[in-house]
Chains A and B, each alone.
Chain A
Amino acid sequence: MVATQDYDKGLTDPIPALEDKWRLLPSFLQVKGLVKQHLDSYNYFVDQELQQIVEANQRISSDVDPNFYLKYLNIRLGMPERSDPLAVDKSYTPHECRLRDLTYAANIYVDIEYVRGRQIVIRRGVPIGRMPVMLRSSHCVLTGKTDDELATMQECPLDPGGYFIVNGTEKVILIQEQLSKNRIIVEKDSKGIIQASVTSSTHERKSKTNVLVKNDRIYLRHNSVTEDIPIVVIFKAMGITADQEITLLVCGADKSYLEKFAPSLEEASRLEVFTQKQALDYIGSKVKQTQRFMTARKPPAEEALEILATVVLAHLPVQRLNFRPKCMFIGVMVRRVIATLQDESLLDDRDFVGNKRLELAGQLLSLLFEDLFKKFNFDLKLNIDKVLKKPSRTQEFDVYTQLQMHGDHITGGFVRAIATGNWVLKRFKMERAGITHVLSRLSYISALGMMTRISSQFEKTRKVSGPRALQPSQWGMLCPSDTPEGEACGLVKNLALMTHITTDVDENPIRRLVFVLGVEDINLLAGTELYGKHAYVVFLNGELLGITRDPQRFVALFRQVRRAGRISPFISIYINSHHRNVHIASDGGRICRPLIIVDNRRPRVQPKHIQMMSEGSMAFDDFLEQGLVEYLDVNEENDSNIALYEKEIIPETTHLEIEPFTILGAVAGLIPYPHHNQSPRNTYQCAMGKQAIGAIAYNQLNRIDTLLYLLVYPQQPMVKTKTIELIKYDKLPAGQNATVAVMSYSGYDIEDALVLNKAGLDRGFGRCQVMRKQTALIRRYPNGMFDRVADPPRDANNEIPFKFQKLDADGIAAVGDRVFPGQVYINKQTPVNTNADIGIGQNPLETGFKPSPMTYKGLEPSYVDKVLFTNTESEQALVKILFRQTRRPELGDKFSSRHGQKGVCGIIVPQEDMPFSLQGITPDIIMNPHGFPSRMTVGKMIELLAGKAGVFKGELQYGTAFGGSKVEDMSRILIDHGFEYSGKDYLTSGVTGEPLSAYIFFGPIYYQKLKHMVMDKMHARARGPRALLTRQPTEGRSREGGLRLGEMERDCLIGHGASRLLLERLMVSSDAFEIHVCQTCGLLGYKGWCQRCHSSVHMAPMTIPYAAKLLFQELQSMNIAPRLILEDF
């Protein structure tokens, strides 16, 4: 980032290079972890926000009995507990929830104070509902456990947590990206209108306020008023009636601003608005009419005042009708608009990462909880009123009993929202779908990748490139490589390795600090001072605080206080010299990352600190506390001078990067030598790494997932990266080190196809397992009937028919047995009668059962791996059966290296036909060299070279981004071991026995087996099922469907004039149907009879597609008579 400059070296002492500063990373991840954002946000919600929400909705009173009240004193979340009231041991583990389809949740307890009769009663620990618990959060049983303890809970120590378990499925609340709230953003819309907009957001409401220019005049636009209001009218309505004062608030002493603002002043006088009363009347007449019942309409002026106070710029509170801060804010907005009119470079960029906020699980849950809690209280109040209305009661009224009856609302609300991903918030009339996703457990990487994923609120269909483009401000915060291809490209992003997302920090101490540091209060200032020559306006979270006349000193002091640990390290401060502002931000959702502080060309972190850290006497938090390292958010980063390497430090440098490879995320971090690859290849690998089959978790064999892919012999890569070690991919790898020869072989390797060595496959290369779950619920019906599982039936010879052979005596297939297609694995029977009552005393068994067995479908047999028999929360018996297949690679299976180079297996060649090297080594994979020139994946070549050197030296090599083992060193190792420096070997053809004329690039490359396997895809059909309605062949492999002869294929046949073939394909082999047409009326009749003409003459048989016949009949049903006029042909 900073160019090296020549400077006087004599001035500085020789500084020992800080080589091991990357060691800060493991320490950082130890404290923070990869999913710390989620955990922090959830913990903040549970520990702080929950309390705030309850305080804001503290009191319930009754409309009936004025003496009655209920007050929430306190709220807290318990530890996860079973909901089963009879359970002796209430604690349970997440894994039990996964297996038993339960929800991993804890009770929400409140302390309440309420009126009972004439007493005031206090009750503590009243449960009001259950909240799903985020795994590894402060309320999870897994937190703080050792690996051994986790193992006894059947939990994988490498699992990052950060997700929920709802009804047995793991659900992630994706990070949502939004435009920052309560900040002024100046933009130019498609019509060229410049406007400053602020999205205000408080607990109560969200609203958007715009200040825009129309015909040189400035207006305020807001949803609550029907048309744009001249800005001067707004000022006047807020009590600033003097034109001079308004002008000062907007323009200060600047003439050029005044020129631009003058037309707006004239507009007000043209409208004859001079006083506050007139202004309010004017606005009042434009207020949107809301249909509100019961409440009487207020006079328009009063309504206008209320809207100005509470709705317009809602985030600025108006206390006792003191509109001054709000006026100043609007003044700043207007000023920004005018400034932008003069100089368009002052337009804000809404894609700038500093203008973005990330919403996490905690914030979303807090929105949801507030809504649910309000509804809960509303319902409770209705119920209380209902009871209190009754003139006489047998029992004294106790709210406690009422409280217990409403528990389901909050519980159900949470479970429903997380299970479906639909966030319905009544307060904001917000309905958002697709917030949660099922945690992808395809591989360890796919699960990790999901936890760091950020989804954008931006519409996918819009064809604008701005939000999708790589933003320079993403540097170090968001991974530049990891984004999907196609429609979501650039909208779905991933966090970089060291990113941290802030949570809210209390503003009040900061406000005090700001004034202590010499900022002049806004309420004491007039416009002249506000825009004075040396004045910089200080903002706190978008709110005007005051001005400072020495911003540099103020900011330096503020940072000193922060580095001393007196305020939260996540508060950012920066100077915007264009706007002459100082911004302080303490709000949640800002993206930030740690950097080493540099003073006087010297990084504060010194080798001795690193030494202490490796000895364990210093952790990452100590670095933060001692002010060696600090977090910068994107805005503050913009105000800093960050050196990439220590040698690039110049006098202006303020910070030093910890490690350059941290600009990549966890998924892109797997790629060795990514800085040598063409950039789209890294993006492709990011998508493919998530499809690679490998180890998923240490508890993978205890899991019962719908679909689980496992590699039988996974290996850690020969060429690792630092990231691989940090995210522990080397412990749960997904791939194998294949010996690759880059050469052409046999012609079965065109278009990226790979040649595989048969002996390699025999010995276990690429062998994988596919586990598939089947579930059956053994139901109980309301009428007392129940499903049952029956033992296998016997035929006349007392033998069990093939179909039922795999069943044990309990009616469920035996563990370890091989189940063939068509065989029954759960012999379930359901009662015939599930609705009507069965007579009292009647034996339920006598009413009869009908078989509803579960039959194994699939082309290849599977083994029964596991049978789980348990019951769910609703006491229904649940049977889960896990089927297992072990597959060796076959023709058409998909493989990929870590460089976005995928290919299918084109041929499997016996070992003796494979070329062999002077060491007798045959390759596992032969890859066609045509894969290289256009892809430009030089990283793959270096991986091979480093891998080969590593093999012969007996150590793993590093391919870390912007670093890693050097090619020169690798070549040196190869030469020392008697190999050619470039990794090319002399090979002998296995077929002819003679040497090959070219030297072959030969060595190990880490290959991933991808989940796309031929066995799951191959499909053909001659005859088969047809759709009920059209009688045409069904569609899709799962329905054994036909292969469609589509429009383009049809066009070809027409072009060839192959009309008979066309007829055969489209009718005879599809849905040919014989109809009988009456030649008199032209309508369809019966065979030999026309019902319309009541005649049997002139009936003609003909064959048409059934779909055509259906069309005729449907037309008839709409009173359209399609008539067939037949001619001899």
Chain B
Amino acid sequence: MSPVGSTEGKIVLESDHVNNRHHESTEAWSLQTFAKSFSIDIIRVSCRAMEFDMINIEAPIANAIRRILMAEIPTMAIETVFMMQNTSVIHDEVLAHRLGLIPIKVDPTQFQWRGDAEATDLNTIVFKLNADCYIDSETNKVVNASVYSRDLVWEPKGNQAVQFEKNPIRAAYKSILIAKMRPGQSIQAELHCQKGIGRDHAKFSPVATAYYRLMPEIVIKEDITNEDADKFAKCFVPGVIKVVKERGVRKAKVDNPRLCTMSREALRHDEFKDKVKLMHKPTHFIFNVESTGAMTPPELMLHAVKRLMRKCQIVQAALAQLNQSGEHEA
């Protein structure tokens, strides 16, 4: 580890380009040191989003997790729509497309891949969407002018009713607008969900987005005092720089670099240009995972790591095989 404040091994944000962006560890990798230094700090977590720090890991691994989160964790989504009736203004294909994008709250591991197989209770979830728009004769108000995702009715098939008794299958959010109608119009459809991954279609992606940023590190090389300090603080998002009084002089100090958006505004001013260094720690990843609601972010992370392990195992096996065959030839 390089000392705090030095640019060695750090990604440096200059005013017009990024320096040192490729990080290579100087030491040989060993499991022991990795296990000792690697840590994960969960900053905040809810059923929708999670922020956590992944420290002392290389970019390829972090990126692999990010990519897997977006593209390779399976979820259930509406894939087939049987349109019995659709007299709304929205065309069948567009309606089907909109339905497909609704996240379905269900554990996808409970289902099998369908592929070209027949639809069964093991690989398919069935919803019904029956919405008629009419004017209520008593209240004289239009009923069902808007169709929301809450109007999707799960129709358990086979064992599903028992299997998901505690946690009935439903749309992740209730108030996703599907269509608008006028009295006399109606939508009658049967919707079949199946398992898929985000690489095939974005609707299967379990995350709205998953991304990381690197931990900022701001180094004030020379003291910035008084009015300059206030001006300097204003170059950053509130909370990043604080102005403290030291021996009667107000000085700018780095308070919470984590909040920094790296706008490089400070580098634009001649008086600060040479006094400050903006850097990123290349091995400190601040991960953000925003779930679409199908699964909780911690679950997603677990799936992602498992998925990564599986991939490694496949590579491992393949390498082993390659080694074996290589030995034979030799």
Chain B window 65-89, contacts with chain A (Cβ cutoff 8 Å), 1 for yes, 0 for no: 0110011000000000001001001
Closest residue to A761 on the B side, CB-wise?
B202
Chain A window 789-824, contacts with chain B (Cβ cutoff 8 Å), 1 for yes, 0 for no: 000000000000000000000000000100000000
Question: Judging by beta carbons under 8 Å apart, are A865 and B21 in contact?
Answer: no
Contact of A995 among B18, B91, B264 (CB under 8 A): B18
Closest residue to B68 on the A side, CB-wise?
A912
| Interchain CA distance A712-B96 in the complex, whole Å | 13
Contact of B92 among A767, A863, A910, A975 (CB under 8 A): A863
From residue 762 to 798 of chain A, which have CB atoms closer than 8 A to chain B? Answer: 762-764, 767, 769
**Given A762-B203, A884-B91, A986-B13; A994-B70 close (CB under 8 Å):** no
**Given A912-B66, A920-B288; A886-B202 close (CB under 8 Å):** no
From residue 231 to 274 of chain B, which have CB atoms closer than 8 A to chain A? Answer: 235-237, 261-265, 268
Residue B125 CB within 8 A of the other chain = no
Question: Judging by beta carbons under 8 Å apart, are B201 and A762 in contact?
Answer: yes
| Interchain CA distance A978-B93 in the complex, whole Å | 41
| Interchain CA distance A764-B205 in the complex, whole Å | 15
Interface residues on chain A, number (Cβ under 8 Å):
40
Closest CB in chain A relative to B259 CB, distance in Å: 9
From residue 1 to 38 of chain B, which have CB atoms closer than 8 A to chain A? Answer: 11, 13, 16-19, 21-23
Residue B213 CB within 8 A of the other chain = yes
Residue A934 CB within 8 A of the other chain = no
Residue B117 CB within 8 A of the other chain = no
**Given A912-B70, A994-B21; A975-B265 close (CB under 8 Å):** yes
Contact of B205 among A759, A986, A992 (CB under 8 A): A759
B261: which A residues are within 8 A, CB to CB? 918, 978-979
Question: Judging by beta carbons under 8 Å apart, are B280 and A995 in contact?
Answer: yes
B59: which A residues are within 8 A, CB to CB? 992-994
| Interchain CA distance A999-B209 in the complex, whole Å | 21
Closest residue to B210 on the A side, CB-wise?
A920
Contact of A912 among B13, B17, B71, B86 (CB under 8 A): B71
Question: Judging by beta carbons under 8 Å apart, are A816 and B92 in contact?
Answer: yes
Closest CB in chain B relative to A451 CB, distance in Å: 27
A863: which B residues are within 8 A, CB to CB? 91-93
Chain B window 193-213, contacts with chain A (Cβ cutoff 8 Å), 1 for yes, 0 for no: 000001101110100011111
Question: Judging by beta carbons under 8 Å apart, are B203 and A816 in contact?
Answer: no
B21: which A residues are within 8 A, CB to CB? 994-997
A921: which B residues are within 8 A, CB to CB? 209
B212: which A residues are within 8 A, CB to CB? 988
Question: Judging by beta carbons under 8 Å apart, are B202 and A912 in contact?
Answer: no
From residue 32 to 75 of chain B, which have CB atoms closer than 8 A to chain A? Answer: 59-60, 62-64, 66-67, 70-71
Closest residue to A995 on the B side, CB-wise?
B21
Contact of A994 among B23, B101, B201, B209 (CB under 8 A): B23
Closest CB in chain A relative to B19 CB, distance in Å: 8
B67: which A residues are within 8 A, CB to CB? 912, 990
Residue B94 CB within 8 A of the other chain = yes
| Interchain CA distance A980-B236 in the complex, whole Å | 10
| Interchain CA distance A990-B212 in the complex, whole Å | 11
A918: which B residues are within 8 A, CB to CB? 213, 261-262
Question: Judging by beta carbons under 8 Å apart, are A999 and B62 in contact?
Answer: no
| Interchain CA distance A990-B59 in the complex, whole Å | 11
Residue B97 CB within 8 A of the other chain = yes
A922: which B residues are within 8 A, CB to CB? 209
From residue 341 to 356 of chain A, which have CB atoms closer than 8 A to chain B? Answer: none
Chain A window 728-764, contacts with chain B (Cβ cutoff 8 Å), 1 for yes, 0 for no: 0000000000000000000000000000001100111
Question: Judging by beta carbons under 8 Å apart, are B201 and A996 in contact?
Answer: no
| Interchain CA distance A920-B289 in the complex, whole Å | 10
Residue A916 CB within 8 A of the other chain = yes
| Interchain CA distance A619-B252 in the complex, whole Å | 59
A990: which B residues are within 8 A, CB to CB? 63, 67
From residue 894 to 952 of chain A, which have CB atoms closer than 8 A to chain B? Answer: 910-912, 916, 918-922
Question: Judging by beta carbons under 8 Å apart, are B202 and A993 in contact?
Answer: no
- Interface majority SS (helix, strand, loop, mixed), chain B: mixed
Question: Judging by beta carbons under 8 Å apart, are B202 and A712 in contact?
Answer: no
Question: Judging by beta carbons under 8 Å apart, are A910 and B71 in contact?
Answer: yes
Closest CB in chain B relative to A1067 CB, distance in Å: 47
From residue 171 to 194 of chain B, which have CB atoms closer than 8 A to chain A? Answer: none
From residue 80 to 114 of chain A, which have CB atoms closer than 8 A to chain B? Answer: none
Question: Judging by beta carbons under 8 Å apart, are A997 and B18 in contact?
Answer: yes
Closest residue to B211 on the A side, CB-wise?
A920
Interface residues on chain B, number (Cβ under 8 Å):
51
From residue 582 to 607 of chain A, which have CB atoms closer than 8 A to chain B? Answer: none
Question: Judging by beta carbons under 8 Å apart, are A910 and B203 in contact?
Answer: no
Of A758, A981, A993, most B-chain CB atoms within 10 Å: A993
A988: which B residues are within 8 A, CB to CB? 211-213
Question: Judging by beta carbons under 8 Å apart, are A763 and B211 in contact?
Answer: no
| Interchain CA distance A767-B64 in the complex, whole Å | 30
Question: Judging by beta carbons under 8 Å apart, are B268 and A992 in contact?
Answer: no
Question: Judging by beta carbons under 8 Å apart, are B91 and A980 in contact?
Answer: no
| Interchain CA distance A993-B261 in the complex, whole Å | 18
Closest CB in chain A relative to B267 CB, distance in Å: 9
Residue A1018 CB within 8 A of the other chain = no
Question: Judging by beta carbons under 8 Å apart, are A980 and B263 in contact?
Answer: yes
Contact of A996 among B18, B83, B209, B263 (CB under 8 A): B18
Closest residue to A998 on the B side, CB-wise?
B17
**Given A912-B66, A979-B261; A886-B71 close (CB under 8 Å):** no
**Given A992-B63, A999-B16; A911-B203 close (CB under 8 Å):** no
Chain B window 111-149, contacts with chain A (Cβ cutoff 8 Å), 1 for yes, 0 for no: 000000000000000000000000000000000000000
Question: Judging by beta carbons under 8 Å apart, are B209 and A920 in contact?
Answer: yes
| Interchain CA distance A990-B93 in the complex, whole Å | 31
Contact of B83 among A816, A886, A919, A920 (CB under 8 A): A816
| Interchain CA distance A767-B23 in the complex, whole Å | 41
**Given A916-B211, A918-B262; A995-B94 close (CB under 8 Å):** no
| Interchain CA distance A758-B265 in the complex, whole Å | 33
Question: Judging by beta carbons under 8 Å apart, are B264 and A980 in contact?
Answer: yes
Closest CB in chain B relative to A703 CB, distance in Å: 13
Question: Judging by beta carbons under 8 Å apart, are A999 and B17 in contact?
Answer: yes
Residue A120 CB within 8 A of the other chain = no
Closest CB in chain B relative to A95 CB, distance in Å: 17
**Given A912-B70, A994-B59; A764-B18 close (CB under 8 Å):** no
Question: Judging by beta carbons under 8 Å apart, are A886 and B16 in contact?
Answer: no
A975: which B residues are within 8 A, CB to CB? 235, 263, 265
| Interchain CA distance A912-B64 in the complex, whole Å | 10
Contact of B18 among A816, A986, A992 (CB under 8 A): A986
| Interchain CA distance A309-B291 in the complex, whole Å | 91
Contact of B11 among A767, A993, A995 (CB under 8 A): A995
Chain B window 95-109, contacts with chain A (Cβ cutoff 8 Å), 1 for yes, 0 for no: 001000100000000
| Interchain CA distance A999-B211 in the complex, whole Å | 18
| Interchain CA distance A996-B59 in the complex, whole Å | 13
B92: which A residues are within 8 A, CB to CB? 816, 863
Residue A525 CB within 8 A of the other chain = no
Question: Judging by beta carbons under 8 Å apart, are A762 and B13 in contact?
Answer: no
Residue A31 CB within 8 A of the other chain = no
Contact of A759 among B16, B19, B202 (CB under 8 A): B202
Residue A701 CB within 8 A of the other chain = yes
**Given A912-B67, A980-B264, A994-B22; A758-B60 close (CB under 8 Å):** no
Question: Judging by beta carbons under 8 Å apart, are A993 and B17 in contact?
Answer: no
B93: which A residues are within 8 A, CB to CB? 863, 886
Of B97, B288, B290, most A-chain CB atoms within 10 Å: B97
Closest CB in chain A relative to B297 CB, distance in Å: 13
Question: 3 smallest A-B Cβ distances: which pairs?
Answer: A993-B63, A920-B211, A978-B261
* Selected A-B contacts with CB under 8 Å, 16 pairs: A712-B94, A762-B203, A863-B93, A910-B71, A912-B67, A916-B211, A918-B261, A919-B211, A920-B290, A980-B264, A986-B18, A990-B63, A992-B60, A993-B59, A995-B18, A995-B21
Interface residues of B (CB under 8 A from A): 11, 13, 16-19, 21-23, 59-60, 62-64, 66-67, 70-71, 83, 86, 89, 91-94, 97, 101, 198-199, 201-203, 205, 209-214, 235-237, 261-265, 268, 280, 288, 290
